[in-house]
Chains A and B, each alone.
Chain A
Amino acid sequence: MISRQIKHKFFTPWIFVLTILALNGLVFLAIRFIYGLGAVTNLDNYTPWGLWIGVDVAAGVALAAGGFTSAALVHIMHREYYKAIVRPALFTAMLGYTFVALAVVVDIGRFYYVWHPIVMWNGNSALFEVGICIIVYMIVLYIEFIPIVTERFINKINFHGLLTFLNKPVNGLLKYLDKKLSLTMFIFIIAGVVLSTLHQSSLGTLMVIAGQKMHPLWQTPILPLLFLLSAIAVGFPMIICESLIASRSFNLKPEIKTLSKLGFMIAPIIGIYLAFKIGDMFIRETFRYVLLFDSAAWMFIAEMVLMFVPFILFLSKKIVNSMSGIFIASVFVISGVLLNRINNFIVAYNPFFNPVKYFPSFGEISITLGFVALLVIVYRAFVMIFPIIPQENNNSNQNIAESGNTKSKKWI
């Protein structure tokens, strides 16, 4: 098993649909930057945060958690059996965080000041911590991606015409980077895991300061812990889902054995998350709000069901070993965490005075969908350019030779 570029045709009917979605998003994006946030969003002075913060940022960060959970598994705990999942997970995280950053630029009123948190610090602010961690983690992810670039291009640089003179220096640079990074990569890998732990939990701290404006079903001092646990829980399901979709889309043989082994680790994590979530509900006696069966209660119930069902599914050996079973179970976890973020940031936020209950506008939804579509398109392009997706080798001898002949340790 080694990761190689995918050889497949790029355009399919799906890509066409995605392109239309992306273009539609682009139209609203233009309106947002020309006429301001008010022209596109349903946000107002009573509901300052909406779909973009709840889904693009908060859920985006959570769903990119596969990057740090897989790094922790393979590199920190040295379970190298799972090495094949590292590259796709790392790449997804890198892409995911890049889009999170883009969403932030779109959402903040003064996008040209997006760099301010780097120099203007407020250590009391949970948002500041989230911001700084995301910026640094993004840089770490880009650094971790460099070995994939060097692997792809070392000794394969071939500029033409006027640029020919660049071939040698660029190749030299790549080789230099490759050598230095293979020695220092462990520093970045540990840093990536630490940074993720910090900001995944601080995303939960964000809403704590909203106090009574947040529905008591969600407002709890252990929000940071719940956010961290649910992010860890959704990491592997994302990897599984992605891997299965990629296999189908590129006609590859699905890595069902590795994925199933991964799948067996998920139930305990969800179990811990649910234990804290339910325990918190009883300690704060918030179950009485569930018994009201109003719309907030139903959203809470939906969120719990979406996490509880996969908990059961992942406990079953039969389901985890079957391709459709593990796929469905993973989709449940992903939807559960997605809904949890929507609930925390949108549904639960109900201030004292709130004349119009917020619902995202067509423009907001368009931009969010546009970003997702663009992300998928870029993903597809990248896995065709760079060696990211692991594939069966036609020649198994060559595979072993390749993994054996690397002089220095290959991290990524």
Chain B
Amino acid sequence: MKDINRRDFLKTAAIGVSMSVFGTKFLKASDESPSGYRIGILVDTDVCVGCRHCEWACKVAHNIPTASLESYSDNSLFKEYRRLDAASLTVVNEFENEKNPSLPVYVKKQCMHCEKPACVSACIVGALSKLEDGSVVWDTKKCIGCRYCMVACQFQIPTFDYDKPIDPQIRKCDLCYDRRKTEKLPACVSICPTEALLFGERDEILRVAKNRIKRKPDVYINHIYGEQEIGGTTWMYIASKSFDNLKMPPLGNSPAPGTSESIQHGIFAYFVPPVTLYAILGTIMWLTKRRSNENKENRIEFEQEKKGVDT
């Protein structure tokens, strides 16, 4: 009960703050995280009942054709492990629960909205950007369809319309960018009938997650997936079993773009290295030219000699 109240409170508070801070200022992946408001969403896989309403709501919110909500109660789908595709920005998968076989574990999957997103760092034209509230969004007007973001993302999230010759899209969760403009919650959060999805300020959400683990140490393992993973993510998970067994990639805590960006900035630091190289090559060219001019006579002789030998 207490949780429900808090949840509602978090929902409204979050929207208010998110709207006030919501700007068009884009951040680079390598930038320090700003101290301002950051969205956090907790997925409590122990509470999720696998109703897949979130999948349906997500499709509706993104104008993706879908069957009626009733058809989503078909559980046979869970037999197969499913991944995201151009028509599914979120999917829920079922995993065995060894502790309590009658209550499987359900794990919702979508873009994690990383704190240091590899996709944003990688995108050749800056079509992906991280907004100040932490969400990572894609701009169709810029994207060239190179799919480098897919190479970069450690969670294998962005998907591509391989079957569209014109305007294929990179698709991934955008935290319902359009809905949030009108101060609404992301569609999945707002439809979820249980406590499984919790939306709020990231620090606050983290506190709730820690509390839940503390309150039921026999249920949850002591790991919040996404708190630290590759520099932290907006979506965070708690679960009753190891995340390795829930097909969440085991990732370190250092941000994915880190190494590549330092190399990149090393090679290009204020254009000093390229310009220096240019200067060095120019100098060598000038120096060796003088030497070769002195040798010119000899060379012509040499050429003639060579010709003589050849013929």
Q: Name which of A72, A211, A224, A353 has the most chain B CB atoms within 10 A of its CB.
A: A211
A40's nearest neighbour on chain B, judged by CB, is B162
- CA–CA, A111 and B144, complex, Å: 7
Chain A stretch 82-116: residues in CB contact (< 8 A) with chain B: 107-111, 113-114, 116
Which B residues between 245 and 275 are near A, CB-CB below 8 angstroms? 247, 249, 251-252, 256-257, 259-261, 263-265, 267-268, 274
Least CB distance, B280 to chain A, in whole angstroms: 10
Please, which residues of chain B bring their CB within 8 A of the CB of A36? Answer: 161-165, 168
Stretch at the interface among B65-73, B151-159, B206-214, B234-242: B151-159
B215 to chain A, nearest CB (A): 32
The reply to whether B162 and A108 form a contact with Cβ atoms under 8 Å apart is: no
Output the least CB separation between B153 and chain A (Å): 9
List of A residues within 8 angstroms of B144 by Cβ: 108-110, 113-114, 116-117
Given A113-B143, A221-B263, the answer on whether A210 and B29 have CB atoms closer than 8 Å is: no
Q: A39-B163, A76-B284, A110-B168 are in contact. Are A202 and B267 (CB under 8 A)?
A: yes
Q: Mark B270-311, 1 if CB is under 8 A from A, else 0.
A: 000010011001101100110110000001100110110011
Q: Which 5 A-B pairs have the closest CB atoms?
A: A109-B145, A38-B162, A48-B147, A48-B150, A78-B288
In the bound assembly, the distance between CA atoms of A212 and B85 in angstroms comes to 22
The digit string for B108-133, where 1 denotes a CB below 8 A from any CB of A, is 00000000001011111111000000
| A152 at the binding interface (Cβ < 8 Å) | no
B299: min CB distance to chain A, Å = 7
**B162 and A44: CB pair below 8 A?**
yes
Q: Give the chain A neighbours of B164 by CB distance below 8 A.
A: 36, 109
The answer to whether the Cβ of B28 comes within 8 Å of any Cβ in the partner chain is yes
Q: Are B307 and A396 in contact (CB under 8 A)?
A: yes
Question: Is B222 close to A, CB under 8 A?
Answer: no
Asked if A351 is at the interface of the complex by the 8 Å CB criterion, the answer is yes
Q: How far is the CA of A210 from the CA of B259 in the complex (A)?
A: 10
Q: Which residue of A lies closest to B85 (CB)?
A: A45
* Chain A residues with CB below 8 A from B223, complex form: none
CA distance A127 to B144 in the complex (A): 12
Measured between beta carbons, the chain A residues less than 8 angstroms from B311 are 396
- Please report which residues of chain A, range 23-54, place their CB below 8 angstroms from some CB of chain B when the two chains form the complex: 32-39, 41, 43-46, 48-49
A366 at the interface (CB under 8 A from B): no
Q: Is B177 an interface residue (CB 8 A)?
A: no
Complex: how many Å from CA A120 to CA B120?
A: 13
Interface assignment of B83: CB less than 8 Å from any CB of chain A: yes
Q: Taking the complex as formed, is B197 at the interface, i.e. its CB lies under 8 A from any CB of chain A?
A: no
Interface residues of B (CB under 8 A from A): 28-30, 83-85, 118, 120-127, 142-148, 150-152, 154, 156, 159-165, 167-168, 247, 249, 251-252, 256-257, 259-261, 263-265, 267-268, 274, 277-278, 281-282, 284-285, 288-289, 291-292, 299-300, 303-304, 306-307, 310-311
Cβ–Cβ < 8 Å partners of A44 in chain B = 162
A136 CB to closest chain B CB, in angstroms?
Answer: 11
Cα distance, A187 to B28, chains bound together (Å): 34
Binary flags per residue of A56-75, CB closer than 8 Å to B gives 1, else 0: 00000000000000001001
Give the CA-CA distance A81 to B301 in the complex, in Å: 12
**Inter-chain contacts of B267 with A (CB < 8 A):** 129, 198, 201-202, 205, 224
Asked if residues A124 and B30 are in contact (CB atoms below 8 Å), the reply is yes
Interface size range on A against B: 35 or more
Residues of B within 8 A of A114 (CB): 144
Contact call B124/A131, Cβ cutoff below 8 A: yes
- Not counting A122-B126, A127-B122, A221-B263, a sample of 16 additional A-B residue pairs whose C-beta atoms are within 8 angstroms of each other reads A37-B162, A44-B162, A45-B85, A78-B288, A78-B292, A80-B299, A108-B145, A113-B142, A121-B126, A122-B125, A125-B123, A126-B122, A194-B278, A201-B267, A211-B256, A221-B259
Q: With both chains docked as a complex, state the minimum distance between the C-beta of B147 and any C-beta of chain A, in angstroms.
A: 4
Is the CB–CB distance between B162 and A209 below 8 Å?
no
A197 within 8 A of B: yes
**Interface flag for A208 (CB, 8 Å):** yes
Q: Contacts of A129 on B, CB cut-off 8 Å? A: 264, 267-268
8 A-B Cβ contacts within 8 A?
A76-B288, A110-B145, A121-B126, A125-B123, A186-B285, A209-B256, A209-B260, A210-B152
Instruction: Mark out the residues of chain A between 328 and 368 whose CB falls within 8 Å of any chain B CB in the assembled complex.
Output: 349, 351-353
- Contact check: which of A107, A221, A352, A396 meets B156 at CB < 8 Å? A352
A343–B125 alpha-carbon span in the complex (Å): 27
B147 adjacent to A194 (CB under 8 Å):
no
Say whether A122 contacts B306, CB under 8 Å. Answer: no
Q: Using a CB-CB cutoff of 8 Å, which residues 196-236 of chain A contact chain B?
A: 197-198, 201-202, 205-213, 221, 224
A124 to B282, CA, bound (A): 28
With a cutoff of 8 Å between Cβ atoms, the chain A residues found around residue B264 in the complex are: 123-126, 129, 202, 205
Residue of A nearest to B148 (CB): A127
**Bound Cα distance A45, B153 (Å):** 11
Which chain B residue shows the least CB distance to A214? B151
